[in-house]
Amino acid sequence: MSHATTRTYQRFALARRIEHLVMLLSFTTLGLTGLPQKFPGASLSIAFVNLLGGIESLRTIHHFAAIVMMLGTAWHIIVFGYLGYVRRARLSMLPSLQDVKDGWQALMYNIGLAKSPPQMGRYTFEEKLEYWAFVWGAIVMGATGFMMWNPISTIKFLPGEAIPAAKAAHGGEAVLAVLAIIIWHMYGVHIKRFNKSMWTGRMTEEEMLHEHPLELADMKAGLADRPVEPAVVRKRQRIYFPIAAVLTLFMLGGIYGFVNAEDTALTTIERQVPTVEVFVPQTPTPAPTQTPTLPPTQTPLPTQPAADSTPSTPSSTLTWDGAISALLQPKCGACHGASALGGLNLSTYADAMRGGFSGPVIIPGDSTNSLLVAKQLAGGHPGQLTPEEIAQIIEWIDAGALEK
């Protein structure tokens, strides 16, 4: 074996490889637990949810992986600042016009219109595309994830339609990210040429010649690393470390707020039946002893029932089709329409009676124990009904919650 194939060069330090592993595991977990929520009706999704012990367990794992990825992103920002300011490392991952030229050269070479592939340095244009696609995806997934994790806080500043829009964007970006990893990353790193440098930290000279010839030339010329005097490093550290500490506290506070801004959608619809004091008069109203005699020109009143007679079932002219659906849709449809926040869809009578993840929200004949009424009576709901509308809901449920 020749000397060129046995000599190796360091490409990634141990800390960078650990960082990559953490992001790899968190991304994989997010994909495995997110796609079943994007496609809940698929048989594979149902089997996977059951394997993890139900939707609650799957979402807990998904949320934990999201927190790990946010912490990893915060760490990456701090390290990026240190390398850029203290070590004065070359910001090789920043895109440039040369990347456009390299991409065009690669295209011409692949279709046979150029004699040689592009000569690239520390990072190829493909690696930069992957990196910045990940950055963009993290921003989109973070923003939309916050909106779905904290819907009540979100609609204080945005219309209710923002929640289902965030759900659509979150799911679409997730599918795009997973496909990019499977197709783009797997081919470029594992199939075209198996690149083990993110695991071993090193590349052979042959691999460097093939993938990063300009960086190899800098290494041999002693130009790859910029030496910095220890005194200068200490001076810059004294400036950077306090800034990094403040930035770290700011990012950790942001992550804490992300997680604890409010209860999740699943928690906010838990069954919470308020204690309602029922009015009972101290002295029962006596029933009349006899039917009063009316003048001949008037129709006699029906005989009043005795005081101890069995009360009749409440009756109401309210129905779902006649009034209740039209009453709920304007205020509840944004979150509990097709997007079914918390698993609750109030678009149709059948969906409304089915309830959400926490069980039925409407119990015919029992408004006191109906979660829909309990949430509205508690007040402060994003789709808060007026007292008159709540009274209609109560009347409709107590009369049997009829559809037509």
Same domain, 326 and 228: no
Per the structure, how many domains does the chain have?
Answer: 2
Residue at which a domain ends, from 262, 288, 309: 262
Residue 82 identity: Y
Identify which of 341, 344, 342, 349 has the alpha carbon closest to the alpha carbon of residue 325: 349
Same domain, 255 and 354: no
Where would I find the H helices in 191-324? 197-200, 205-211, 213-221, 230-260, 265-268
Residue 279: pLDDT band with limits 50, 70, 90: low
Q: What is the pLDDT of residues 87-123, one digit of tens each?
A: 988 889 999 999 999 999 999 999 999 999 999 999 9
pLDDT mean over 219-236: 87
49 pLDDT more than 60 = yes
Residue 20 identity: H
pLDDT mean over 353-362: 84
Residue at 173 is within a domain? yes
Same domain, 220 and 366: no
Backbone angles phi, psi at 202, to 5 degrees: -135, 160
281 pLDDT more than 70 = no
Average pLDDT, the chain: 85
pLDDT at position 316, please? 64
- What whole-number percentage of the chain has pLDDT above 70? 85
Same domain, 207 and 330: no
Residue with tokens 């990019």: 180
CA 396, 402, 404 angle in degrees (round to 5)?
120
Residue at which a domain ends, from 262, 290, 309: 262
Q: Rounded CA gap, 390 and 280, in Å?
A: 22
Q: Rounded CA gap, 361 and 71, in Å?
A: 37
Residue at 14 is within a domain? yes
Q: What is the pLDDT of residues 139-163, one digit of tens each?
A: 999 999 999 998 888 988 988 889 9
Residue at 114 is within a domain? yes
Residue at 40 is within a domain? yes
Same domain, 249 and 327: no
> CA torsion 396→398→401→404, rounded to 10°?
-60
Q: Hey, what long-range contacts does 59-62 have (CB within 8 A, 24 or more apart)?
A: 59/33, 59/264, 59/266, 61/29, 61/33, 62/29, 62/30, 62/33, 62/34, 62/37
Q: What is the pLDDT of residues 299-354, one digit of tens each?
A: 444 444 444 444 444 556 789 888 888 888 888 877 787 767 777 888 888 888 88
287 pLDDT more than 60 = no
**Cα end-to-end span (Å), the chain:** 85
Identify which of 381, 294, 387, 378 has the alpha carbon closest to the alpha carbon of residue 336: 381
Q: Between 298 and 179, name the one with better pLDDT.
A: 179
Residue at 339 is within a domain? yes
pLDDT at position 315, please? 57
Identify which of 249, 20, 22, 264 has the alpha carbon closest to the alpha carbon of residue 145: 264
Residue at 31 is within a domain? yes
pLDDT at position 343, please? 79
Encoded tokens for 235? 């001076």
186 pLDDT more than 80 = yes
| Element containing residue 202 per DSSP (H, E) | strand 202-204
pLDDT at position 25, please? 96
Same domain, 128 and 203: yes
Residue at 269 is within a domain? no
5 pLDDT more than 70 = no
Contact between 258 and 70 (Cβ < 8 Å): yes
pLDDT at position 312, please? 47
Q: Between 302 and 223, name the one with better pLDDT.
A: 223
201 pLDDT more than 70 = yes
Same domain, 93 and 231: yes
Same domain, 52 and 180: yes
Same domain, 214 and 354: no
- What whole-number percentage of the chain has pLDDT above 90? 50
pLDDT at position 314, please? 53
Here the CATH number for the domain that contains residue 242 is 1.20.950.20
Predicted TM-score (pTM) of the model is 0.65
pLDDT at position 32, please? 95
Residue at 111 is within a domain? yes
Residue 179 identity: L
Same domain, 250 and 152: yes
Residue at which a domain ends, from 230, 262, 294: 262
Residue 295: pLDDT band with limits 50, 70, 90: low
Same domain, 220 and 334: no
pLDDT at position 183, please? 92
- Collapsing DSSP to helix, strand or coil, 359 comes out as strand
Same domain, 248 and 333: no
Going 388 to 389 to 393 to 396, the CA torsion angle's sign is positive
Q: Which domain holds residue 334?
A: 320-398
Say how many CA atoms lie within 13 Å of 360 toward its Cβ. Answer: 13
Q: Assign residue 53 a region: left if phi > 0, alpha if psi is -120 to 50, beta otherwise? A: left
Give 148-189 as a DSSP string: HHSHHHHTTTS-TTHHHHHHHHHHHHHHHHHHHIIIIIIIII
